[in-house]
Structure 1
Amino acid sequence: MILLLRKNILIILILVFAFFLRVYQSGSHGIYLDEKYTMVISQGIVMEGANQKDVFFAPSKTTFTPAEFWKPKSLDDFIEANIRGDIGNSPSYYVVLWLWMKIFGLSDFSARFPSVLASTLLVGLLFIFVKRHFKSTNLALLSAFLAAIEPFFVAYSHMARNYSMSFFLTLLATHVFLIIYERTKAGKKSAAYFVAYGLILALSLLSHYLTLTVFLCHGLFVLFYIRPFKRWIVYLATTLAGISIVSLWFIYGGGSYTFKTLAHQAKLYKDVALNNPTNNGYGEILPATLANVSQKSLPLFTDLFIFSNGLGQFKTLGIRNMALALFLGTAAVLMLHLFRRKQKLPLWVALLYPVLLIAGLPFFSVTNLQLVALAALPSFIYLLIISLGSKDADLPAPLLVFTLILSFVPTLFLIVMAFRNGHTYGITQRYSGFSFPYTVILIAFMIRQLSRLPLAFRGALAAVLCIQLFFVAKLLNDVYQDRAPKYTYFSITRQPNPYYVTAQKIKQLYAVGDTVVYPSRKLYFHDEIEKTYWPYSIQDAQLTNLYLPRDAKYVQRLDTTETDKIILTKPRGVKITLFDLQGKTYRY
């Protein structure tokens, strides 16, 4: 009873710790491009004003007010905003966010808080998931702790985007799926669970289309392990019911443009990859050769595991250094294999094993302790393999295979799509992030196996894990400082949101007779979805008005001769610069 109480206290402490890691600094930095679209889409506003013609573009109309900007929006407005801003993706997320901000107000912190909550709840759900399906409270606690400190989860909890919600929903779907499997094997009725599964499937797909990769894993499990075949019918019927709900969005809602837009983007990115792979405005997009896809995808696989996070960076570590580290690591893992069952290790083994892990340091061309972690990587992989096959793991083969499928199929799907589309644009961690809860479980098994090794092996590998934890802590600090490009997309810290800052100045300085003047740059459209009814940008005006009172009568206008400065014009020609956006410096 006391032990159970202690473990309950532990999971509560882990959840509090996870929440703190996620809420800390979550509102400190300005919203980046995708979050700008999140903000306007959730309010039924089309970026650049395709559904605000009467506000910005009406004949003989040269000024506008926040009250006009915030006029009531219809369902069609929300659908059009979703089509033009996010190719019809993530409508369930935008509904949640709209409702959240109706209750708690519109601010950067408020917009990001649902992601904080979803990411924290995922930690708790992972504890329940492991305890229920892997039959171990200790393993569940370890998994929850690893998920709490996972930099990927922390980074995406700071974004007003769908990802944290999608990660939670797909784990919940897998949890319900396995309950159905257990109950069916036991001959119990599962109708309510099938209904729940179908609804979660629909919500997941409508939170992000690539959650499809998780349900593809569920389908593979059914194909491999559900017998007799007649049981497939109810699984198939449930999946079709969930998809039928989603199909309503594709037939009557914003999803009707999704496939057309995806086809257009695939062609566009392929052309960019072939003709201008670097200086193109989209980031580096390479042709989908075997070498390019390998270079892009290896970091995705290594970053799925805390013990290998950052070990797939060719440019940082150097190919020659990596080859030497792996060569030494292979020799070390052979020793681990031969002597791991010994009660007492020979002295030469106890000394040589850690020496092999650090032997490359004098020869590496860069001083980076992560190369020591790379040397230990074969040992960690070996431990992972034997931990999953050990008798004390007592894992049913279907559950083991299912966990491995869920850990790797989402990334493999991205690789297949890269070759199919001819470019590497979609090979990015956030699109395969649905795998992280399952790789966390695998790491927990590996750590449990590590604790059973002879002291010399255990001590050496524990020291390497501490080195990795140092780099994980450094990565977390970089996330908080907004300089972790692989997760936050920025290497230089963003300043506070310039549009929020400008809005506060307007509220403070504006007087009757004043006019707020916004820059209006020339626009260049890539396709019909981007095309608006005005060839100049109104984005700066839109984003500032998000933070102004909805009933305010501030007089505002656009200036197509100005590209950067937001100006407050007062009577007698007095001009006050409210904010200088300095090109793209503050537009992110």
Structure 2
Amino acid sequence: MSVSLSRSTLLLLGAILALALGLRLYRVGTYGIYFDEKSTLLISQAICLEGSNQKDVFSKPYFTPAEFWKTKTINDFIEADIRGDIGNSPAYYGVLWLWLKVFGLSDASLRMPSVIFSTLIVWLLFVFVRRHLRPKQLADEPTSSGALTLASVDKLALTSAAIATIEPFFVSYSHIARNYSMTFFLTLLATHLFLLIQERIRSSARHSSGLSLPWLYVAYGAVFVTAVLSHYLAITVFLCHGLYALLYLRNGRVWVTLGLTAIVGLGFISLWFIYGGGTYTFYILEEQKNFYRHLAITNPRGNGFGIILPATLPNIATRAIPVFSDLFIVTNGLSQVLGSVRNSLLALGLGLSSTLVMHRYLTVSKPPVWVYAAVSLLLLAGLPFYTIEPARLLVLSIAIPFVYLIGRFVITYTDTSQKRFVVLLVLLAFVPTLFLLFTAWRSGHTYGITQRYSGFSFPYVCILVALGFYQLATLRWWFSLPVAVVLLIQTVHIIQTLGDIYADTSPKYTLFGKPRIANPYRSSALQLKQLYALGDTILYPNKKRLIFSEKNDRTFSPVSLIDAQLVNVYLPKDAQYIQRIDPNERDRIVLVKGNSGKKITIFDFQDHTYRYGD
């Protein structure tokens, strides 16, 4: 049964979506593409990094854009995906290929699908909360003490969407031309369909609006296949669906139907692993596991890939702390103070004391006078004793009270079905990261413990945080005000983090500490189109190839071809410009003018800070 939205809710939702889109569009094409995005661009055009499927082009003394852009086949696409992304994400590259075919190859266009899917996450999150957290008895007024109303569920849905709007992780990955935003949207959509199936089964509502039950299974299976073929680790979300079904599903017929849906879906996915790029995935994963484990043992800090440690329990815990901390917007960035055990224990101890005071006097209408100031004084008590970043530690001190508020909301406002919904949220919030930790332990290194590989959890964490905000708003002022003030301090941190993302100076989110320049390959191609004349020759740098993987990186060429490849991507597809790799040039793209031999430097990598993103 659908329930119409009030005018005020529609206006607020529209404002949130407009803000979400604006935050994601702002400066989306400002900075040049980094290495993973270079892979994305080439794979989407069925071009292998370093030219494995272009030997007939680059093995000649000279080549032209027309030769570079010769017609590609499905086998070219598969090989490009194998060499550029271990056979992962074919569904994403297919969507991106179609998008770029229509809208062109600019950096903004390359990233625009990520912008769109990230904005759609905000919209779908509103729909998701409003549909699955609403009370069984639809009413605008409470039907019993502590029950949620439709109006309150709308507020929770809007709050969840608003949190997702400003979540730094979503904003930063909307500016990255990779599969993540698309996969996060698809897995949220899959969870929505999964819960609609459960709802339809429980209600047996033949006259409900929307898809019939058979079509819900078809839609769920289709999204399952597309999500996993957008990123293999999306399987962790469906693992959570299975755990939820084990806990609460007691219908044999439904188990059979869901099982068949999963089998058929896996059958379609297996086609990629049998006949497509997935044929090499496990081989390459094994090769990478051994490579990174070797680095963890022999060169954990100076290897060029960041800090890679052996997968001992202390090392895994150390890498997991920032992942879990940054998962919740209210604790974002606190990992930098958690390294100081004394300061952290003091802040958490004061937070625990505040929580105990809240719990004891939360429902007391006239508490002792000292209670009015107790939470404020306890939170402030640590400031004279903190030896590092007192503002960050003050935020840490409300972590336990905020978790308590989420738990209090669940106890106070939810019925049995809504509590089951919260259980699913908790599974989805933590299982993907726990899966990463388990695979790190099995692999013997910590390289894969990174936020983007468990980013499927963020939509569900946004909902949990919204529950805490809702409960906070219901507290008496002497409990809510001090927590709210500290949350304002955290809001300042979030705004600063977004500023760093837009400035490209946030290593945690934009991967680099220094801002990138605009895309030099595109600008070089534009210059070449303006300056090239018949008889000219374009020279590309002769840069030594780095071989990390025998399967992925070994090709016919001993020198790197990627600079030449990326400039040619932006040159006219029918152009007959004469080009070659210059054995005497290390850093510059050069245009040699006719018989005069005059050299014009188009771009000098040596004098720019671009290649640190290679």
Relative to the length of structure 2, the TM-score reads: 0.93
Report how far residue 307 of structure 1 moved: 0.8
| 8 Å CA contact 1:388, 1:395 repeated in 2 | no
Partner of 1:31: 33
Partner of 1:15: 17
Report how far residue 551 of structure 1 moved: 1.5
Partner of 1:171: 188
Is 1:579 the counterpart of 2:603? The answer is yes
Report how far residue 113 of structure 1 moved: 0.2
| 8 Å CA contact 1:335, 1:353 repeated in 2 | yes
Report how far residue 552 of structure 1 moved: 1.6
CA distance, structure 1, for counterparts of residue 213 and residue 580 of structure 2 = 60
| 8 Å CA contact 2:83, 2:551 repeated in 1 | no
| 8 Å CA contact 1:478, 1:484 repeated in 2 | yes
Report how far residue 368 of structure 1 moved: 4.0
Could you tell me which runs of 5 or more consecutive residues in structure 1 were left unpaired when the two chains were aligned. none
Is 1:220 the counterpart of 2:219? The answer is no
CA distance, structure 2, for counterparts of residue 98 and residue 11 of structure 1 = 31
| 8 Å CA contact 2:517, 2:609 repeated in 1 | no
| 8 Å CA contact 1:503, 1:544 repeated in 2 | yes
| 8 Å CA contact 1:329, 1:356 repeated in 2 | yes
Q: What whole-Å deviation, never above 9, does each CA across 1:520-571 have from its counterpart, x for those lacking one? A: 2121312232101111111111111111111222211101232211111113
Partner of 2:527: 505
Identity fraction in percent:
51
Partner of 1:53: 55
Q: What whole-Å deviation, never above 9, does each CA across 1:184-231 have from its counterpart, x for those lacking one? A: 112356111001111000000000000000000011111111113343
CA distance, structure 2, for counterparts of residue 583 and residue 220 of structure 1 = 54
CA distance, structure 2, for counterparts of residue 513 and residue 355 of structure 1 = 79
CA distance, structure 2, for counterparts of residue 53 and residue 200 of structure 1 = 37
Which amino acid in the other structure matches residue 90 of structure 1? S
Map 1:545-584 → 2, pairs under 5 A: 545-570=568-593, 571-582=595-606
CA distance, structure 2, for counterparts of residue 219 and residue 45 of structure 1 = 38
Q: CA distance change for structure 1 residues 484 and 352 in 2, over 3 Å: closer, same or farther?
A: same
CA distance, structure 2, for counterparts of residue 93 and residue 524 of structure 1 = 27
Q: 5-14 or 78-87, which moves further after superposition?
A: 5-14
Report how far residue 504 of structure 1 moved: 1.6
Report how far residue 433 of structure 1 moved: 0.5
Partner of 1:383: 405
Partner of 1:185: 202
Q: What whole-Å deviation, never above 9, does each CA across 1:295-323 have from its counterpart, x for those lacking one? A: 100111111111111112357x6333222
CA distance, structure 1, for counterparts of residue 575 and residue 327 of structure 2 = 48
- The counterpart of 2:336, out of the listed 310, 313, 327, is 313
Report how far residue 486 of structure 1 moved: 1.1
Q: CA distance change for structure 1 residues 2 and 538 in 2, over 3 Å: closer, same or farther?
A: closer
Partner of 1:95: 94
CA distance, structure 2, for counterparts of residue 337 and residue 353 of structure 1 = 11
Could you tell me which runs of 5 or more consecutive residues in structure 2 were left unpaired when the two chains were aligned. 135-152, 206-211
| 8 Å CA contact 2:323, 2:450 repeated in 1 | yes
Q: CA distance change for structure 1 residues 240 and 538 in 2, over 3 Å: closer, same or farther?
A: same
- The counterpart of 2:560, out of the listed 537, 560, 564, is 537
Partner of 1:273: 296
Secondary structure, in 3 states, of the residue corresponding to 1:582? helix
Which amino acid in the other structure matches residue 523 of structure 1? R
Which amino acid in the other structure matches residue 298 of structure 1? I
- The counterpart of 1:143, out of the listed 150, 160, 175, is 160
| 8 Å CA contact 1:536, 1:560 repeated in 2 | no
Secondary structure, in 3 states, of the residue corresponding to 2:305? coil
Map 1:131-530 → 2, pairs under 5 A: 131-135=130-134, 136-188=153-205, 190-314=213-337, 318-391=340-413, 396-526=418-548, 527-530=550-553
Secondary structure, in 3 states, of the residue corresponding to 2:580? strand
Give the count of matched residue pairs. Answer: 584
Which amino acid in the other structure matches residue 82 of structure 2? I
Q: CA distance change for structure 1 residues 165 and 320 in 2, over 3 Å: closer, same or farther?
A: same
Q: 90-99 or 373-382, which moves further after superposition?
A: 373-382
Secondary structure, in 3 states, of the residue corresponding to 2:538? strand
Is 1:4 the counterpart of 2:6? The answer is yes
CA distance, structure 1, for counterparts of residue 176 and residue 45 of structure 2 = 17
CA distance, structure 2, for counterparts of residue 9 and residue 391 of structure 1 = 26
Which amino acid in the other structure matches residue 530 of structure 2? Q
CA distance, structure 1, for counterparts of residue 366 and residue 514 of structure 2 = 51
| 8 Å CA contact 1:342, 1:454 repeated in 2 | no
Q: What whole-Å deviation, never above 9, does each CA across 1:81-137 have from its counterpart, x for those lacking one? A: 001100000000000000000011111110100000000011111111111001121
| 8 Å CA contact 1:418, 1:425 repeated in 2 | yes
Q: CA distance change for structure 1 residues 299 and 367 in 2, over 3 Å: closer, same or farther?
A: closer
CA distance, structure 1, for counterparts of residue 269 and residue 5 of structure 2 = 45
| 8 Å CA contact 1:128, 1:140 repeated in 2 | yes
CA distance, structure 2, for counterparts of residue 387 and residue 145 of structure 1 = 19
Report how far residue 457 of structure 1 moved: 1.1
CA distance, structure 2, for counterparts of residue 158 and residue 225 of structure 1 = 39
Which amino acid in the other structure matches residue 311 of structure 1? L
| 8 Å CA contact 1:387, 1:393 repeated in 2 | no
Partner of 1:117: 116
Secondary structure, in 3 states, of the residue corresponding to 1:365? coil
CA distance, structure 1, for counterparts of residue 304 and residue 372 of structure 2 = 54
Q: 509-518 or 352-361, which moves further after superposition?
A: 352-361
Secondary structure, in 3 states, of the residue corresponding to 2:572? coil
Q: CA distance change for structure 1 residues 405 and 367 in 2, over 3 Å: closer, same or farther?
A: closer
Q: CA distance change for structure 1 residues 542 and 337 in 2, over 3 Å: closer, same or farther?
A: same
Report how far residue 327 of structure 1 moved: 1.9
CA distance, structure 1, for counterparts of residue 415 and residue 342 of structure 2 = 37
CA distance, structure 2, for counterparts of residue 228 and residue 425 of structure 1 = 41
CA distance, structure 2, for counterparts of residue 502 and residue 155 of structure 1 = 27
CA distance, structure 2, for counterparts of residue 584 and residue 395 of structure 1 = 58
CA distance, structure 2, for counterparts of residue 555 and residue 515 of structure 1 = 5
| 8 Å CA contact 1:288, 1:419 repeated in 2 | yes
Secondary structure, in 3 states, of the residue corresponding to 1:48? helix
Secondary structure, in 3 states, of the residue corresponding to 2:544? coil
Report how far residue 352 of structure 1 moved: 2.9
Report how far residue 345 of structure 1 moved: 4.2
Map 1:56-75 → 2, pairs under 5 A: 56-57=58-59, 61-75=60-74
Q: 16-25 or 327-336, which moves further after superposition?
A: 327-336
Partner of 1:79: 78
Report how far residue 274 of structure 1 moved: 1.1
CA distance, structure 2, for counterparts of residue 251 and residue 33 of structure 1 = 28
Report how far residue 234 of structure 1 moved: 0.7
Q: 339-348 or 3-12, which moves further after superposition?
A: 339-348
| 8 Å CA contact 1:115, 1:162 repeated in 2 | yes
Secondary structure, in 3 states, of the residue corresponding to 1:577? strand
Secondary structure, in 3 states, of the residue corresponding to 2:599? strand
| 8 Å CA contact 2:133, 2:418 repeated in 1 | no
CA distance, structure 1, for counterparts of residue 416 and residue 506 of structure 2 = 39
Q: CA distance change for structure 1 residues 375 and 64 in 2, over 3 Å: closer, same or farther?
A: same
CA distance, structure 1, for counterparts of residue 16 and residue 188 of structure 2 = 19
Report how far residue 395 of structure 1 moved: 5.1
CA distance, structure 1, for counterparts of residue 578 and residue 268 of structure 2 = 44
| 8 Å CA contact 1:345, 1:454 repeated in 2 | no
Q: CA distance change for structure 1 residues 501 and 320 in 2, over 3 Å: closer, same or farther?
A: farther
Which amino acid in the other structure matches residue 601 of structure 2? T
